[in-house]
A = this chain, B = another copy of it.
């Protein structure tokens, strides 16, 4: 734990340092390094060598000031703890990273005041655009139309239809899930899901019902709304088995619920997937692959949502703006809880 005050570090080289070393003006140095054509090859070479000797990196702060664009983007997330924001941010970072756009990190902790504060801070830094990442798919208040930069909402759509929102297709996801169970030959399908106050819960249930109706079937019992927890999965399963012992598949609102469901099924002597198939939602690796058997789950393709949001923001910055809510399809990841391992 040595402690010392070292001398200030050497300042990074500037363009004028390079120019001096190469014996040219800064204008020429700039042109040489940026591939402008009005420089003799030999001069350009001299400048490039000088730049390398000095480890010159153009000061992007100065470039930004001049260009009026900073090449930065502010993603506002309302919860970093939650596992939904991260994949979206990674997708966005991915999409931007390729284009040399830097991404700020802002966690509003679900607090509107903090969010406002972050928006201000980001605008002060002259970000070129904002991505607002929600923690649930319910619509959220718009940041407003009067912002000086484009905004894209991801996962949680904006309440204002003039804004552009990119969300996963929850209704379609419910449909996909049921389609898979039907394809597995199941016909007595129950649905145990989370908090009915979540749009995602309602929409998935809606999609599931629609798909069943399409096959001339209905859900076994009512959708079991409750909490997004293992405990609820266990409790709901116990009740379900009492009332509908003939159930042959349970579609769960989350992987956590699914784990609880599988737990209780095993406790009651049902085999998964032979007697009852179980499906989860979210495709959260830790849970899906650790369970016995591994859990079939619907993946919301969140990284794609992030990438799509980044892409939309890009085009909006370039001038072409879209609006409305755009949905992206989910996908079923099949594991041993619906299909016996061969």
Contact = CB atoms under 8 A, between A and B. Distances in A.
State how many copies of this chain the complex holds.
Answer: 2
Most chain B beta-carbon neighbours within 10 Å: one of A61, A229, A259, A322: A61
Nearest to A8: B319
A148 interface: yes
Contact of A3 (B4, B80, B81, B320): B320
B100 A102 contact: no
Interface string A1-22: 1111110111110000000000
Interface string A60-92: 111011001010100100001100001001100
B70 A61 contact: yes
Contacts of A122: 102
Most chain B beta-carbon neighbours within 10 Å: one of A10, A105, A260: A105
A81 B90 contact: yes
A230 B290 contact: yes
A198 interface: no
Contact of A60 (B2, B59, B124, B319): B124
Contacts of A8: 319
A2 B162 CA distance: 9
Interface string A240-261: 0000000000000000100110
A123 interface: yes
Interface string A25-57: 000000000000000000000000000000001
A334 B62 CA distance: 53
A333 interface: no
Interface residues of A, number: 61
A196 interface: no
Given A103-B105, A125-B102, A256-B290, A148 B12 contact: yes
Given A4-B321, A9-B149, A231 B290 contact: yes
Contact of A100 (B60, B121, B149): B121
A183 interface: no
A287 B322 CA distance: 41
Interface string A300-338: 000000000000000000011111101000000000000
Nearest to A118: B97
B229 A61 contact: no
Interface of A: 1-6, 8-12, 57-62, 64-65, 68, 70, 72, 75, 80-81, 86, 89-90, 93, 100, 102-107, 120-126, 148-149, 229-231, 256, 259-260, 286-287, 290, 319-324, 326
16 contacts: A1-B324, A2-B322, A9-B148, A11-B148, A12-B126, A59-B126, A61-B70, A81-B90, A93-B107, A100-B121, A102-B104, A104-B104, A105-B105, A229-B290, A230-B290, A256-B290
Which 5 A-B pairs give the minimum distances between C-beta atoms? A230-B290, A105-B105, A103-B105, A60-B124, A61-B65
Given A2-B324, A62-B65, 11 more contacts: A1-B323, A4-B321, A6-B321, A9-B149, A11-B68, A60-B125, A61-B70, A72-B125, A75-B105, A231-B290, A256-B286
